[in-house]
Structure 1
């Protein structure tokens, strides 16, 4: 899950105002939790999450479940980094207001506290959710594979007939596997998919027997 960790971390740092500017990557980031300009990213994230949620509800997952998890995690980090109860150290920057620039040494100390108390915690939770999603997907794919193999075995073919049936089963198994990985096929739908595959394999089996 190194890729997930990298994505979660990057998005969380951006949302928290702790990520280097793309146009000035060599410039030190000055943490300004009370900056209205930096906080604007949270509004954009909220709007994006809302759009993704609507798409999930109206058009199915299509992999957007993972995207929403990433966005939710970064939004959580951004909120936590600006929350005085989560990161009490940010109070030291309050006197500089929305537009003032605090001393870099002070901002650096507070930024480290925000990373530890807000960003790292949110990233860990985000990665854990993504790992759980991957584990569930792997189990669902294995379950479907077992069902398909059992169907092939139950049809009682041997030799070339068995090989042809297994090849057809592999083809039928491919599409739902991709759908499960994308998140567009739910665990509740697996049984219906298996029944559809069974009907098609029975048809192929009948064709083999008639030869």
Structure 2
């Protein structure tokens, strides 16, 4: 949560005055008694009144970084940042995903609804999905580096090595996965020569 709080502060401090006013109004709407703090009752009442039924009330204690039983401005801004940017759930255990997670490459590249998994569900294979190519959110972002609009890039090809038939050799399987990840991270460099028209992983 600390990383999210720092991100929220950074966005706020570098945003326009208009955005800062919207964020301040968000805080005021939650702080109904105007004491500059948001109590648990104010927090839960705000969730009910504004349709944030998907937010679990235990998030209050997660946001309360100094454990003083109320939320200050920056703790509320962390919540504002989360609801605006982290409305993503694990398709395995349905836990809300706040940080690094795994994304189905085929669904992401095909423009369909994303299929997302927490590291625990992906690592434990606690999911059932018709694709089997996944990259974590950081690696997937790196894989898009250098891709310009209109460029025909198939991320499925970047991770194609993962879908090779499993031979039972665990070492080979690990090497295949790391090779796919390495290609994804370095795809920006590969694209400098022009459009990717085929799959070179095979």
Provide the TM-score with structure 2 as the length reference: 0.27
Greater per-residue helix proportion: 1
Considering Cα pairs closer than 8 Å and 6+ residues apart, tell me whether 1 or 2 has the greater RCO. Answer: 1
Structure whose alpha-carbon radius of gyration is higher: 1
Provide the TM-score with structure 1 as the length reference: 0.26
